Structure 1
Amino acid sequence: MKILGLIVEYNPFHNGHLYHLQKSIEKTKATHTIAIMSGNFLQRGEPALFDKYTRAHAAVKNGVDLVIELPTMFACQSAEIFSHGAITTLNSLNCVDAICFGSEEGDVDILYTISKILVDEPEEFKISLKKYLSDGMLFPTARSLALFDYINDFKLLDISKEKLLNILNSSNNILGLEYIKSILKLNSKIKPYTITRVQSDYNSETIESNICSATAIRKQLKDLNDISSISKVVPNNTFDVLKSKIDDDFYPMFDDNYFEILSSIIIRDKNILNTYFDVNEGIENKIYQSIFTSLTLDDLKESIKSKRYTMTKIKRTLNN
């Protein structure tokens, strides 16, 4: 028996997820699969399209053996905390042999080497990082350059500075690096694997083939309000599960559906907004001021957005 762990959101389970599942099983030679899945709210600070039970049902119908919920306190957080929660959960089961994640890079050895440096923080790396920071560089830039210096000096990888920067700035690579870092920190026996993402970019909003991003699927459903519009990009099992829910009057959830409730809570709790988790750095003042000039959730998010507050930070904060 060999058990494969998958860290997923399945929002919803589409053809790309089925490809990833099948290729991961093939690559790891797994006999069983366990998916750690976000619940009703997701890593980027958005509600799931359908509830966690519906998404778990679709996952099992498409071949996943067991779905375990990733608690919201981890699911709606940064890549580091999200990954730590997921890997800790898998590791605590004491039966998972491997994980396999999609990445833009596709070479797990490169990701592993980078992760190990970031976890171990060799003295030469720290000296280089400190130098770049003292030159006034932002931390992400300084860290990237210090990494390249260390890798190049010790000839750990044959990699250009441009490629390293691309790896460190690609969304799925970032998650992959955090998965591996968590495995190393936990001294876990789980072995990491990766497969290259195919065809569609993670944030692409267009449907151009039978494999597209979940973002594109959600946009299609929101714009057309027609489940049949996504039939070619999701497995038949997913389509049947989702259509059954809609036929029973359980419709997709989009973040603007709860704008009125959110507005009421912000106004009601104006004096205690800073007691909510992750509401800090004065963002509570910006939220309260902006609610009176915003007609939609998008208006509110755009009003709060600044160099200090990223859109992802805003989404997660409003969900809290």
Structure 2
Amino acid sequence: MKTVGLVVEYNPFHNGHLYHLTKAKEKTNADVVIAVMSGSFLQRGEPALVSKWLRTEMAIANGVDIVVELPYYDSVQKAEFFAEGAIRILDHLFVDTVCFGSESGKIEDFYELYDFIEDHREQWNLLLKEEIALGKSYPKATSDAFQRLSHQLGHPSLLSLSEPNNILGFHYVEATRKWTNSMNAETILRQKAHYHDQDINHATIASATSIRKALFSDQDQEKVKAVLPQPSYHILHQHLKNNQPLLQWESLFPYLQYQIISTKRENLADIYECEEGLEYRIQETIQQATSFQQWMELLKTKRYTWSRLQRLATHIFTQTTKAEINKLQQLKKPPYIRLLGMSPAGQTYLGTIKKKMTTPLISRFAEVQGTAGRLDQRVTTMYNMALGHLTNTSRFKEEYQQTPIRIKNES
């Protein structure tokens, strides 16, 4: 069976995701679609709108065949580590091709860029250090260093690293070269909506950012309905009809504020991604803020992007230390792969590879062990805190007892 892998968050699953899924399957002639999906918290340091289980249900209902979880230590990370973690999981599931969306739409651009940077790695690293020394954020320094290098060597037409999906795409290609023997990469041109669009500006395609904004404002619900596949809208509508909350940082802010105020400064410095004395600025600003938005505006500097600081906020909230992440990043392979959902075709595929797998495929959280398992357990518990006492209790129980979601899709 031919397989295509997708790296996703589905927060929520919208028409752009359905387009990506459909085109990826067509472009690779795949029989099975495997998605590696972030769990409770996402790459840019945000809590997921709804639980991993509802997002898995959306994915399977819309045509994904297998959904597995990207563990916290890989999911809330800068692009390089996020991509690496996802590709390693897909490789252990024997995926033939990873397919990602990009502003380029041409996979040749990414391979050309990768080869160019590898051929000039020493110069690239030197220029990157120079840009960071100027006080620029890492993404800005990366983009500017690359622009300088490409112009110095007479290659100004190379793929731009100023767009978020191009950056991720480059790291997916890099990870396939570094961590796999045979996985190919393909890309699909992103349609209509831009990654950071704040409003729904097109009748059928919108960014996840604009959809979440509309959901929280309780406005433009007809517009929301138009940009979601019917299964996604039905699942979200039922969730809200049952008076279940949608999560955002504002829901978690009181807990985060308490965590920061009650933590000793030296312990705050041990939190992953708390660098260069940021613990002082964090504690100075947290008591001045009445909302997460306000706190981020007080905290933000030219050197640190919003996403970088949101990730740090997530690590503080979950009390994730440098020691924990550093230990997990030394692992030569994923400690386990957690299965969240599958279609009949997905179940058949897993049956064909099960004996070849060298990484445990687990279907219940009770099977999770080690540092990664304990971290994911703590993260899920913290995420559920914002749901209220009764809901939190049921969700915590669900996390341990939930078996993979099975839906007979039409793919």
- With normalisation by structure 1, the TM-score equals 0.89
Distance in 1 (alpha carbons) for counterparts of 2:154 and 2:98: 25
1:260 aligns with 2:254: yes
- Whether the 8 Å contact between 1:47 and 1:254 is mirrored in structure 2 is yes
Post-superposition CA distance 1:89-124 (Å, at most 9, x none): 11122x210011110011100111111333x344xx
1:87 aligns with 2:87: yes
- Deviation (angstroms), 1:147: 3.4
Provide the residue aligned with 2:103 in structure 1.
104
- Whether the 8 Å contact between 1:4 and 1:25 is mirrored in structure 2 is yes
Provide the residue aligned with 1:219 in structure 2.
213
- Whether the 8 Å contact between 2:146 and 2:161 is mirrored in structure 1 is no
Secondary structure in 2 matching 1:295: coil
Provide the residue aligned with 2:45 in structure 1.
45
Provide the residue aligned with 1:54 in structure 2.
54
Distance in 1 (alpha carbons) for counterparts of 2:251 and 2:37: 23
Secondary structure in 1 matching 2:226: coil
Classify 1:115/1:131 alpha carbon distance in 2 versus 1 (closer, same or farther; 3 Å). Answer: closer
Secondary structure in 2 matching 1:200: coil
Amino acid at match of 1:206: D
- Deviation (angstroms), 1:249: 2.1
Secondary structure in 1 matching 2:227: coil
Classify 1:234/1:132 alpha carbon distance in 2 versus 1 (closer, same or farther; 3 Å). Answer: closer
Amino acid at match of 2:145: A
- Deviation (angstroms), 1:133: 6.8
Provide the residue aligned with 2:274 in structure 1.
279
Amino acid at match of 1:51: S
Distance in 2 (alpha carbons) for counterparts of 1:176 and 1:151: 23
Name the count of aligned residue pairs. 306
Distance in 1 (alpha carbons) for counterparts of 2:145 and 2:43: 26
Amino acid at match of 1:313: R
Secondary structure in 2 matching 1:146: helix
- Whether the 8 Å contact between 2:91 and 2:180 is mirrored in structure 1 is no
Amino acid at match of 2:16: G
Distance in 2 (alpha carbons) for counterparts of 1:285 and 1:259: 19
Amino acid at match of 1:108: I
**8-17 or 131-140, which moves further after superposition?**
131-140
RMSD between aligned alpha carbons? Answer: 2.2
Classify 1:128/1:249 alpha carbon distance in 2 versus 1 (closer, same or farther; 3 Å). Answer: closer
**127-136 or 219-228, which moves further after superposition?**
127-136
Amino acid at match of 1:171: P
- Whether the 8 Å contact between 1:106 and 1:194 is mirrored in structure 2 is yes
- Deviation (angstroms), 1:169: 0.5
Amino acid at match of 2:183: I
1:245 aligns with 2:239: yes
Provide the residue aligned with 1:314 in structure 2.
309
Amino acid at match of 1:115: Y
Classify 1:182/1:132 alpha carbon distance in 2 versus 1 (closer, same or farther; 3 Å). Answer: closer
- Deviation (angstroms), 1:229: 5.0
Distance in 2 (alpha carbons) for counterparts of 1:286 and 1:134: 25
Provide the residue aligned with 2:177 in structure 1.
184
- Deviation (angstroms), 1:167: 1.7
- Deviation (angstroms), 1:184: 0.8
Secondary structure in 2 matching 1:88: helix
Classify 1:132/1:254 alpha carbon distance in 2 versus 1 (closer, same or farther; 3 Å). Answer: closer
Q: Give structure 2 stretches of 5+ with no counterpart.
A: 316-411
**72-81 or 132-141, which moves further after superposition?**
132-141
Provide the residue aligned with 2:404 in structure 1.
none
Post-superposition CA distance 1:35-73 (Å, at most 9, x none): 000001001110111111100110000000010000111
- Deviation (angstroms), 1:130: 4.5
Post-superposition CA distance 1:137-165 (Å, at most 9, x none): 8753233322344464xxxxxxxx2x54x
Identity percentage of aligned residues = 36
Amino acid at match of 1:298: Q
Provide the residue aligned with 1:143 in structure 2.
146
Distance in 1 (alpha carbons) for counterparts of 2:114 and 2:14: 29
- Whether the 8 Å contact between 1:48 and 1:253 is mirrored in structure 2 is yes
**299-308 or 36-45, which moves further after superposition?**
299-308
- With normalisation by structure 2, the TM-score equals 0.70
